[in-house]
Structure 1
Amino acid sequence: MNAVTFVRATGVALILVCAAGNAAARSDETPPDTICTVLGTADRYVGTTVTVRGVAATEGKVTMLSDAQCKGAVSLSMDDGSTRKRDVTAFRRTVAGKGVRADATVFGRFKATGDAKAPYAIDVYSVRDVNELPAAEGG
């Protein structure tokens, strides 16, 4: 009887350990902040890495990540080093077309630019969950 109880307890413990391991693996992924949150407390974020979700679009040579709720936007800096990363290259290609927009989660370093038009930018390290959106009206 004791052996059966021990086996059951061990089985339950193993199941709990596996479940906890899976939950911990899922929680490693940081949920993205909104552009509104980051811009609202920008001083807190400058110089740190951020994970932000927004709508990306390119005008000319500038790609912006924006949020319609607060009408906020940050420019995305994708230097030559990041173009070797497939996710960043694919993202850049997706939003390069005129009028093309994409909902995306961007991970990178948040920085102040000193530019009055676009005072903040993100040096893009990686991009995930990219979903192309229908063309903007009048775009």
Structure 2
Amino acid sequence: MTISPKLLKILLVEDSKSDAVLIQETLSSSRLLDELYVVRDGVDATNFLYQTGSYTNAPRPDLILLDLNLPKKNGQELLAEIKADENLKTIPVVILSTSSTEADIVKSYQNHVNCYLVKPVELDQFVHVVEAIEHFWLALAELPSSQG
């Protein structure tokens, strides 16, 4: 008897439309991805995670891909909020940011990020990073159940 792998739900918090489209296209062929939800700012991400506003039927994501430089509420604020919440803190969060500053990296890990990756400028390297996220987080890592 073969056990089918769990299909995962990812929340992508990304204000750059071009980066979001590239991530969506790269992950679209994944056999392990159930759904990729995209929100463009930190406030919408909060509403999604707490199922408020227009996101009352939003599912709990299995993984969050988070940009730092977001409008309305930045990625560090959102990360700190997620990791301080008993119901959300077990959701793995991967920072995917253009920032490679030591201060941003250190602050992210102080806020309990699970992984910090710098977005490459080159298209093929960007795709490689997204594929590496897919391989590790969707195929290799054991994630907690959706109940947290």
TM-score by length of 1: 0.27
* Structure with more of its chain in helix, by fraction: 2
